Structure formats: C-alpha cells, structure tokens
Amino acid sequence: MDLNTVWFLLVAVLFIGFFFLEGFDYGVGILLPFLGKDDTDRRILINTIGPVWDGNEVWMITAGGAMFAAFPHWYATMFSGFYLALLLMLLALIMRGVSFEFRSKDRRPAWRSLWDWSIFGGSLVSALLWGIAISNLFRGVAIGADMQYSGGLLPLLNPFSLLGGLVFVSLFSLHGANFVCLKTKGELRDRAHALGSKIWLGAVLLTVLFVIWAFLTTDIVRLGAILAALVAAVALLAEGWFHKQRQEGWAFGMTSLTIASAVVMVFAGLYPRVMISSLDPAYSLTIYNASASPYTLQIMTIVAVVFVPIVLIYQGWSYWVFRQRLGREDTLEY
C-alpha cells in the first residue's frame, strides 16, 4: 500500500469521525424546536451537546486540512467548484455557533426563540448541504482537463443530490434522537424515543431509494461499496429493532455504524478517484494526479502517527467527563 492510498484512507477516516460526531450534533439541533416543549427542555437539549459541539467541528477542519496537504488539487477543485455551496454552509455554521453563545444573553422568550430556530436552521442547512456535496462526489461533476469545475451552484442541486441531502438530514436526525435518549431522562427522553421511531421509517425509505438510484446511475458498483451498503442497510434495520426494545446504547451504535458504512461506501466507490468528471473519465481526479509530493506525504505521515492518537484520547476523555444524563433538576438557570 503506497502513501497515496494511506492518505486516502486517512481522509476517509476523518470524514467518518466527523459525520459520526457532528451527525448527532446536527441531529440535536434539527430536533431542538420539536423536542423542546419549553425553555427548560430546550436548555437541556443544548446542554447535551454544549461541551462537545465545537470539538466535533474540528474534525471537519482536520479533514479539510488533510485534503489540502495530501491532495491539493482535490482540495482546490472541490473548494473552488463548490464555493457557493460551501459558503452557504459556512454561514449556516456561523449562525449556529453564534446562536449557542447568544441564546442565554437575554431571558425574553422572543430572543431565545430566535436563536433556537437559528440553531435549527444552521443544523438543517449544514446537514442538507453535506449530503448534496457528498452525493455529487460520486455522481460526478463537470471537471475539465485543467482540473477545474466548470459548472455553478445550480447543477449541484440536481434531484439525485437533493435526495442525498434528505438522506443525510434523516440519518442525522435519527442519530440525534438516539443521542438525546442516551443523554437525557424523564419526559424528554420519552419524547425523543417516540420521535425517533417516526424518523426511522422515513430514513429507511429515503436511504433505500438513494442507494438503489446510486447503484443504477453511477459507476460506484464495486465490491467494497456493495459490502458497505449492505452493512449500512443491516445496521439501519437493526436500529429500528433496538430502538423499539429501548436498548438505547445499541440503537445509537447502529446509527453510528450506518453513517460510518455510508461514508465507506462513498470512498470505496470512488477509489482510486477522488472526484469524478462527468465530461470525460480521463479528466477525473485520482489519488495520484491530485496528490502532493512523496516527501510531503512522508512528513505528514510521521506527524499523523504522533498526534492523531493524542487527539483521539483527549476527545474520548472529554466525552467520558460529560457522560452523565441530564434532566430538569440538573439544569441551571440561564
């Protein structure tokens, strides 16, 4: 296995970590106005992700940094071609982050409602746009011989990618509902369980439709992608059973496995490409024509071996510290 493949796998792992962690983070934000019946409930929901949401977003920055350093042409083509979509996502993330900070600055219901809906909007738009971006990666976009994307925002908003965006929203919402079940107690926990049961059916229908469409209309039908899709399907179905049995830890584990397998399906279907050209397969970016120099990859590998385990240990410790369930009696007045 050469370093180009190693770094392709590492970027995949970083995106798995990002979607696993930020998935329930977005999910809690999307469910905030629907699960929170009053200000105390919404405060509890925000507190479930309060200590970790900004740390979860670091995975996105790290994944982008790894793309920039290991595959600069991939980074340049994707971030310039998807510029408007990524700008909208950035604005949504800024609004979401600001809302967490500003919500408690005033006790007026109208003030808090504004920021609660901003958290919802920022989470929903971000999840939707990530689904659209990932869907376009293996559908293919108009990349020319100069490694430049020649389309705009509207071609990215095609029916296939919009369905992919809805799949991300549904899976993240289900993931978030399971996280709330793990982190809360009492009536709020029961409401999250009931809502999760409803979301599960929609997530199954959307995911099945998307996977069938993807395998029929794209060229990602490869053994690794098929196996990953099967694992994701089994995990999503198993989540429904565990959720019904109120085995919340297993249900959360199954949505985690579903999301991880979905990312594996994308990267397995792409390999050795990183972006597919819809104009000509010869124009597609690969782990070889889009990569940095071998010396750069060697240095980065040494840095990753040293620092990635430290980051994983620290983040695991932070989740352990904030592992307790939250209820109305645990909520401080803000």
Looking at the domain assignment, is residue 254 inside a domain?
A: no
Structure tokens at 197: 């049961």
Asked if 3 contacts 301 with a C-beta cutoff of 8 angstroms, the reply is yes
Q: For residue 161, which of 120, 122, 130, 121 has the smallest C-alpha distance?
A: 130
Q: Decide: 19 and 263 in contact? Cβ < 8 Å.
A: yes
Domain membership flag for residue 129:
yes
| C-beta neighbour count of 32 within 10 angstroms | 22
Q: What is the pTM of this model?
A: 0.92
Contacts of 37 by beta carbon, 8 Å cutoff, 6+ apart = 191
- pLDDT on residue 334: 42
Comparing CA positions, the residue from 331, 86, 292, 24 lying closest to residue 188 is 331
Does 233 fall in a domain?
no
Return the SS3 of 115: helix
Residue 320's alpha-carbon distances to 7, 51, 78, 111, 208, in angstroms, are 29, 11, 36, 33, 35
Report whether 278 contacts 231 (CB < 8 A): no
Strands (E), 168-311: 273-275, 285-286
Nearest-angstrom CA–CA distance, 139 and 164: 11
CA distance 90 to 130: 11
Query: Considering the domain boundaries, does residue 207 fall inside one?
Result: no
The answer to whether residue 220 is domain-embedded is no
Asked if the structure places residue 159 within a domain, the reply is: yes
Q: What is the pLDDT along the chain (334 residues), one digit of tens a residue?
A: 789 999 999 999 999 999 999 999 999 999 999 998 888 889 999 999 988 888 888 888 888 889 999 999 999 998 888 888 889 999 999 999 899 888 888 888 889 899 999 999 999 999 999 999 999 988 888 898 888 888 778 888 899 999 999 999 999 999 999 999 999 988 899 999 999 999 999 999 999 999 899 888 888 778 888 999 999 999 999 999 999 999 999 999 999 999 999 999 999 999 999 999 988 889 999 999 999 999 989 998 998 888 888 888 888 888 888 888 887 766 654 4
304 inside domain = yes
Position 232 in a domain? no
- Residues 85 and 31: their CA atoms lie apart, in Å, by 23
| CA–CA separation, 175 and 258 (whole Å) | 10
Tokens of 108: 């007026």
* pLDDT for residue 330: 65
> Which residues have a Cβ under 8 Å from the Cβ of 149 and sit 6 or more positions away?
77, 78, 80, 81, 82, 141, 142, 143
Q: Which of 255, 280, 140, 160 is nearest to 200 (CA)?
A: 255
Residue 157 neighbours by CB distance under 10 Å? 14
- The C-alpha angle 312, 301, 309, rounded to 5 degrees, equals 15
Q: Which domain range does residue 182 map to? A: 3-199+270-330
Domain count, the chain: 1
- Type of residue found at 252: F
Closest of 290, 205, 224 to residue 262, by C-alpha? 224
Six token digits for residue 287: 């782990």
Separation between Cα atoms, residue 322 and residue 317, nearest integer Å: 9
The neighbouring-strand residues paired with 149 are 143
Contact 251, 239 (CB under 8 A): yes
* Angle formed at CA 55 by CA 162 and CA 66, multiple of 5 degrees: 70
Among 109, 111, 122, 110, smallest CA distance to 49 is for 122
Structural tokens at position 12: 């995949």
Cα–Cα distance measured from residue 254 to residue 239, given in angstroms and rounded to the nearest whole number: 5
